Amino acid sequence: MTRKVYVGLSGGVDSSLTAALLKEQGYDVTAVYMKNWTRDLPGFICPWQEDFKDAKRVAVDLGIPIKVYDFESQYRKYVVDYLISGYQKGITPNPDIICNQEIKFKLFLNAAFEDGAELIATGHYSIVKDGRLYRAKDKNKDQSYFLYRISPLALKRTIMPVGEMTKPAVRAEARKRGLITADKKDSQGICFIGSVGIKDFLIAELGPQKPGDIIGDGGQVIGRHDGAIFYTIGQRHGLNVGGGLPYYVTHKDMVANKVYVTTKLDNPDLWSRDIKLVNFHWTGEAADISGVSLSAITRYRAKDAACRLSVKGDKAVLSLDEAARAVTPGQSAVIYGGDLVIGGGIISS
- How far is residue 144 CA from its own chain's centroid? 9
Instruction: Give the pLDDT confidence score for residue 259 in this predicted structure.
Output: 97
Instruction: Give the pLDDT confidence score for residue 286 in this predicted structure.
Output: 72
Provide the CB-side half-sphere exposure for 274 (13 A, CA): 2
Contact 296, 304 (CB under 8 A): yes
Residues of the chain with CATH 2.30.30.280: 208-262
Instruction: Give the pLDDT confidence score for residue 306 in this predicted structure.
Output: 97
What does the alpha-carbon distance between residue 28 and residue 90 come to, in Å, rounded to a whole number?
Answer: 47
Residues with Cβ within 8 Å of 299's Cβ and at least 6 positions away in sequence, in order, are 326, 327, 328, 331
Residues with Cβ within 8 Å of 10's Cβ and at least 6 positions away in sequence, in order, are 33, 34, 51, 55, 123
Instruction: Give the pLDDT confidence score for residue 191 in this predicted structure.
Output: 66
Instruction: Give the pLDDT confidence score for residue 192 in this predicted structure.
Output: 66
Residues of the chain with CATH 3.40.50.620: 4-176
What does the alpha-carbon distance between residue 324 and residue 82 come to, in Å, rounded to a whole number?
Answer: 26
> What CATH architecture does domain 208-262 belong to?
Roll (2.30)
The residue ranges of the chain whose pLDDT is under 50 are: none
Instruction: Give the pLDDT confidence score for residue 288 in this predicted structure.
Output: 77
Q: List phi, psi (to 5°) of 204.
A: -65, -35
273-347: CATH topology is Elongation Factor Tu (Ef-tu); domain 3 (2.40.30)
Beta-strand runs (E) in the chain: 4-8, 28-35, 66-70, 119-121, 126-129, 132-135, 158-159, 212-215, 221-225, 248-253, 258-262, 271-282, 294-297, 305-312, 315-325, 332-337, 340-347
Residues annotated as catalytic (active site), given as ranges: 99, 191
pTM of the model: 0.94
**Given this structure, which CATH class describes domain 4-176?**
alpha beta
